[in-house]
Amino acid sequence: MSKGLKLSEILVTVLISVVFAIIYNLWWFIYNVVQVAGIHLEQLTYGVWFMAAIVCYLIIPKPGIALLAEIAAGAGETIVMGKFDIPTIIYAVLQGLACEIVFAIFKYKSRSAAVAMLAGLATALVSFPVDYFYGYLNEVAGWNLLLFIIFRSISGIVLAGLVSYCIVKALDKTGVTKFFRPASQQDYDNL
């Protein structure tokens, strides 16, 4: 497998990210509905906003894919919103970098559920300093902040990591993702 990104891989990554940009904008409705329950239960839904990078990496396990996916999804989200939103782009860049660091630790060779869940957790953790900078966490009581962190971390692990892994495994069964990975011996034997 070549190390650089091919045009087809970039285009597929951007296409998947555009789909996620639309999902991200629709997801605000669910997030706001759950937010009414209080005690930061909405944070259990937050992991959806981390999924583009993980799904794209699991389909095309190459350096730079996760960062490209998150930036494209973040930019797409601002386009769908109809306004340019700098915090969304900052979140996207940091989330993409967090995923890239996790995937780099495993040398871009692992597509396991554990690695996907670790990337989801890393992405959740990297979002907290940005939340603090933009004033979302400055006045939250300690016990409430703890719930916030725990719920978002769980969401990163489960929604962003595990659900992304399950989505890609389902796509793998259709055979559509084979185009982005090297042929296996079984593929050659089937010829």
Q: How many domains does the chain have?
A: 1
In a domain, 191, yes or no: no
In a domain, 48, yes or no: yes
Q: Kindly state whether residue 186 falls inside one of the protein's structural domains.
A: no
For residues 96 and 66, the answer to whether their CB atoms sit within 8 Å is yes
pTM: 0.90
Contact 161, 119 (CB under 8 A): yes
Alpha-carbon radius of gyration of the chain: 17
Q: Is residue 97 included in any domain, yes or no?
A: yes
Give the CA distances from residue 40 to residues 34, 37, 162, in Å, rounded to whole numbers and listed in that order.
9, 8, 21
DSSP character at residue 109? -
Q: In this structure, what CATH number is given to the domain that contains residue 137?
A: 1.10.1760
Q: Is residue 190 a part of any domain in this protein?
A: no
Q: What is the pLDDT of residues 59-87, one digit of tens each?
A: 999 999 999 999 999 999 999 888 788 88
User: Is residue 92 assigned to a domain?
Assistant: yes
Using the Cα atoms of residue 24, residue 105, residue 157 and residue 149 in order, give the sign of their dihedral: negative
Query: Does residue 50 sit within a domain?
Result: yes
Alpha carbons 156 and 9: distance in angstroms, whole number: 25
Q: Is residue 33 in some structural domain?
A: yes
User: What is the C-alpha separation between 123 and 16, in angstroms, rounded?
Assistant: 19
**Among 150, 152, 151, 148, CA closest to 139:** 148
- Domain with 17, as residue range(s), is 5-180
Query: What rounded mean pLDDT belongs to the chain?
Result: 90
**What is the distance between the alpha carbons of residues 46 and 27, in angstroms, rounded to a whole number?**
9
Residue-wise pLDDT tens digits, 20-70? 999 999 999 999 999 898 888 999 999 999 999 999 999 999 999 999 999
